Structure 1
C-alpha cells in the first residue's frame, strides 16, 4: 500500500486527532481511521500490525493531548522545557492501546480484502482496549473516539443506549465498512440510509423542551476569568468581590449559585488549629461568600479541606466542593475521588522527588482521594451530584447509582489546559450528560463554563478567557437511560454482539 506504512500510520493518527474539539472534523477522522485499518489489515506479520497500530497512536495522542504542554508552565519545580516533550511522552504510553487493538484485529483477519466481519471484530477489539485505558494505572480516559460525535447529536444519542466505549467501537466499525463499499455499495448504502433514518427519528423523540414554570429554580454559573498564573497571586478579598459581583442579586426565585474549582484558597471549615488560618477567619470568609445569597438561595463552590492526625498535625488535603446556605453554614461536602497523577499527587515520590520533580499544581501537600461518586442533598434544590474537574471524563463512573441526582455539578480548573483542553473537556462533559440523561453544569475560572441539557445541548456558555455568568432555569433531568441502568456492561454486550455477528457472517460464507 505504501513504502513507509509506519510513517503513514503516524500521519493518519495525526489526521484522526482533527475529529475532536476544537476542530471537530469528524468525517476526516473516520476516513483516517479507515485508511489506518487498511494498513493494519495489509501488514505481513503480527509485529508489523502492532507497529502500525502503535505509530497511529503516537501521532493521534501527541496531537490530541498537546494542551498538556501548558501545564508545565505553572510550576517552577518542574522544568518548563519538559512540557514540549510531555504530550509525546504520554503518547508513547497511550499508543499501546491502539497497538493491542490492531494486533488482535490482525490475528482475526482472513485472507483477501477487509470484509464486514473483520470490521465488526476490529470494533470489538477497540471497545476492550479503550475501556482498559480508562482504568489501567488509575486510568486516562481523555477523548475516546466517541467524543468526536458530540457535535452530531443524532449519533451521540447512541451513548444513551450503550455508552462511550460502545460508541467508539461502532465508530471503528463504521470506518471499516468504508473499506467494503466497492463490493457492497448497494446493500450497505441501503442499510446505512435506513439506520440513519431510524437514528434521527429516535433522537428527535428523545429531545424534549419542557415548559419552564414560573417557580422553577435558577442556576447561576460564575466564571471570574482568572488565569492559572494569577490564582496564587490574586488577593482573596478581590477574588470574592469579583465572584459575588458576577453572582447577581437575590430575587423571588431560588438560585443555585455555582462557583468553580481553584478560586477559593482560604479555608472555610471551623475547628482547624488556629495556626492554619493565618490572618483569615473561616466565619468571616463564609460571611463574605454567602453575602450574595437570598433566603432561598444556596452556594456550591470548590475549595480545600485539611485532614489531621491525632496530634493535630496536617496529614493531607482533599480537593473539595462545599455547599453553603444563607446562614453561613456548610451543609455538605464532597471530596474528589479520582485524582490527577502529577497534578494532585506525585506518583512514586520516593523516586521522583530526589530527581527534583514535583506536582504540576503548586503546593506542599498531596491531595488524598475521597470515597467516590456521591449525591449531595442541597436544601431547596434536591439531589445534586458532583464530579470535580477530571472526574467527568470517566464514563460509567460519575453517578451514585443508588441515589440518582437531578443534576451533575462539574467545577473545574481548565486554566492550565491551553487552547485545546477546555473545548475537549466540555465535549466530554456533554457526552456524560447524554449517557446519563442528566444535565451537567460546568464552572471554571476562565473557561469554558457551560450549562448542558440532559440531551447534550448547550443552554448557556461563557467563552474561554472571558468573565461572566450564566443565569438559566434549572434544566430538567430525563428518565434514567439504558446506559444509566446498565453502566459499562452495556458496552460489553455490544462488543459480544459484534463478535457474534462476525462469527455468524463467517459461518454463513463457509
Structure 2
C-alpha cells in the first residue's frame, strides 16, 4: 500500500465521525479493521509508530474542533489561535495511539492474532495513560462511541478503558475474518455478548423514596455571561425557570458559574455583604425543605483585602442562603482555569480563557456532601471532571447520585454531546445516576445504567422535572476495583499476544 501514513491520517479523521454529535459508531470498528491492516504491512517500527500517530492525529484534530470555539470568547487572544491549540494538542495526544501501534508491531508483526491482542491491550493502557499523565485529557476514549449502544452497560464490569480495548478487538476480529480466520470473530463476539448479559449490581426499577428534582437550563451564552450588568437578566431567567416552591421537598439544580459574583468573598465587608445578598436572592426561590445546588466562586482572604485563594465551586444552599456544603473543583483546566508558567505566558500575551487574572486553586478531590433529609448524599463533579474514569466518586462515602454542572457554552456544537456521552459512561461504571445542568445544553438526567432519561437540547432554555433515579443496590465491579481492571486486562492481552507471537517464530 502506497502512502500508509497518509491513509492512516484519513482513516483516523473519518473515525472521529463515530463519536457524537455525528454518532456513526460502526465507523470506529471499521477504522480499527483498517488500522490493523496498516500496522501488519508496516516495514519498520518507525513506520508503525507514524501510522498510529497519524491515525490519532486525524481523529483528535477533527473530534476536538470544539476547543477552537472557546478562543472566540477571549478578547485578549485572537480566534485563530484556537485552531493552533487544537493542532498542537492533537500532536501531543496522538503520541498515545502511536505507542500502542508501535508495541503491537514490535511484538506481533509475525502473527495477526498476536498483533490484534497486543494492540487491544496496549490501546486500553495508553488511553489510561492519556487520562493520567500531564494533568490528563481522556476526552473521547474509543468506548465513548458506544455510549448510545447497549454495550455501555459493560462499563460496570470492565470500565471505560477496557471497553475501548473491546472496540479494538471487534475491529480486529473483522480484519481476521477477511483472512478466513473466523474463530477469533466468534470468540470475541461471544465474549462481548457474555459481558453484555452478565449481571452487575442490580439497579431497582423504581426508587424507594420519591425525591423531586428540577434541572434548569437558562440558555445563557458565553458571550453574555460575563457582560457587565447581565447578572440581573441571568437572575431573572434562573428564577423564572426555577419557579415557586412546591408543596413537597424539591432539589433545584443550576449550572456551573450560574452566579458570576462570588458566593463567598472574604476580601472586604462590602464583598462579604454582596456574597450574602447573592446567596439569599438565589435561596428566596426555595421552600423550607428545598435545596439548591449551583455553580459559584469562592474567594478567601487572610488580610481582608487581598485574595489568597479562589475556587471554582459547587454550593449546596438551603433556605435563607445557608451554606449546607461546598465542593471545590479539583481537576482544573490548564489555560482555562489557570495559566501554567504564568510569568512566561503573560509576557508573550497569553491569558487564561475564563475571565479574571487570578488562577483558581484546586480542591482536594471527589467528595460527597450530606444534604440532609430526605436528600441524602450527593457526589459532585464540576464540568470536565466527569470525564476521568475511576476518579469521580469518594469510594469511602458513596453518594446516591452525582451532580455534574458544567459550562458547555464554550464548546460549540460538538463538545456538549461528546461531554454527555462521557458522563453516561461514568453513570454506567459507578452504578450511580448523573444529573447535569449546563447554561446552553446539553442538560440531562442519566440513570445508573447510563441511559438518558430526559434532556434539554443544545441552545434551548427549559427545565426538567424528574424523580431522582435510583442507584445500584451495591457498588459495581468497576466501582470496587477501579482502573485496576482495565489495566490488568490490558497487560493480560499483551502477554498472551507476545506468547503467541513467539510461538509463531
Shift of 1:257: 0.6
Indicate the larger mover: 282-291 or 255-264. 282-291
Shift of 1:67: 0.3
Indicate the larger mover: 92-101 or 184-193. 184-193
Check the 8 A contact 1:115/1:179 in 2, yes or no.
Answer: no
Deviations 1:169-226 (A, max 9, x none): 22112222222113445434543554454345337x878562356x611111100000
Deviations 1:23-49 (A, max 9, x none): 111111111122122112211111111
The TM-score normalised by the length of structure 2 is 0.95
What is the distance in 2 between the residues matched to 1:96 and 1:356? 28
Secondary structure of the residue aligned to 2:259 is coil
What is the distance in 1 between the residues matched to 2:189 and 2:126? 30
- 1:109 matched to 2:108? The reply is yes
Q: Would the alpha carbon gap of residues 43 and 406 (structure 1) be closer, same or farther in structure 2, given more than 3 Å must change?
A: same
Shift of 1:267: 2.3
What is the distance in 2 between the residues matched to 1:366 and 1:200? 44
- 1:346 matched to 2:339? The reply is yes
Q: Describe how 1:162-241 pairs up with structure 2 within 5 A.
A: 162-192=158-188, 194-195=190-191, 197-202=193-198, 208=203, 210-211=205-206, 216-233=210-227, 235-241=230-236
What is the distance in 2 between the residues matched to 1:147 and 1:188? 24
Q: Describe how 1:454-473 pairs up with structure 2 within 5 A.
A: 454-473=448-467
Aligned to 2:286: 293
Shift of 1:282: 2.8
Shift of 1:504: 5.4
Matching residue within 431, 455, 459 for 1:437: 431
Deviations 1:361-394 (A, max 9, x none): 1212111101111111111211101000010000
Aligned to 2:4: 5
Secondary structure of the residue aligned to 2:453 is strand
What is the distance in 2 between the residues matched to 1:77 and 1:316? 24
Shift of 1:275: 4.6
Q: Describe how 1:82-481 pairs up with structure 2 within 5 A.
A: 82-111=81-110, 115-153=112-150, 155-192=151-188, 194-195=190-191, 197-202=193-198, 208=203, 210-211=205-206, 216-233=210-227, 235-269=230-264, 271-276=266-271, 281-310=274-303, 312-380=305-373, 381-478=375-472, 479-481=474-476
Root mean square deviation, CA, Å: 2.0
What is the distance in 2 between the residues matched to 1:84 and 1:389? 22
What is the distance in 2 between the residues matched to 1:444 and 1:121? 40
What is the distance in 1 between the residues matched to 2:47 and 2:492? 28
Q: 1 or 2 for the larger relative contact order (CA 8 Å, sep ≥6)?
A: 2
What is the distance in 2 between the residues matched to 1:474 and 1:509? 55
Secondary structure of the residue aligned to 2:369 is strand
Deviations 1:218-241 (A, max 9, x none): 111100000000001253232222
Check the 8 A contact 2:203/2:471 in 1, yes or no.
Answer: no
Check the 8 A contact 2:212/2:468 in 1, yes or no.
Answer: yes
Q: Would the alpha carbon gap of residues 434 and 248 (structure 1) be closer, same or farther in structure 2, given more than 3 Å must change?
A: same
Shift of 1:328: 2.2
Deviations 1:114-144 (A, max 9, x none): 5222211111111221111112111111111
Matched length: 502
Check the 8 A contact 1:22/1:420 in 2, yes or no.
Answer: yes
The TM-score normalised by the length of structure 1 is 0.94
User: Which sections of structure 2, spanning at least 5 residues, go unmatched?
Assistant: none
Aligned to 2:62: 63
Deviations 1:254-274 (A, max 9, x none): 111110002201222365412
Check the 8 A contact 1:339/1:369 in 2, yes or no.
Answer: yes
What is the distance in 1 between the residues matched to 2:404 and 2:99? 33
What is the distance in 2 between the residues matched to 1:275 and 1:196? 61
What is the distance in 1 between the residues matched to 2:501 and 2:338? 50
Shift of 1:98: 0.8
What is the distance in 2 between the residues matched to 1:330 and 1:104? 52
Check the 8 A contact 1:225/1:445 in 2, yes or no.
Answer: yes
Check the 8 A contact 2:212/2:250 in 1, yes or no.
Answer: yes
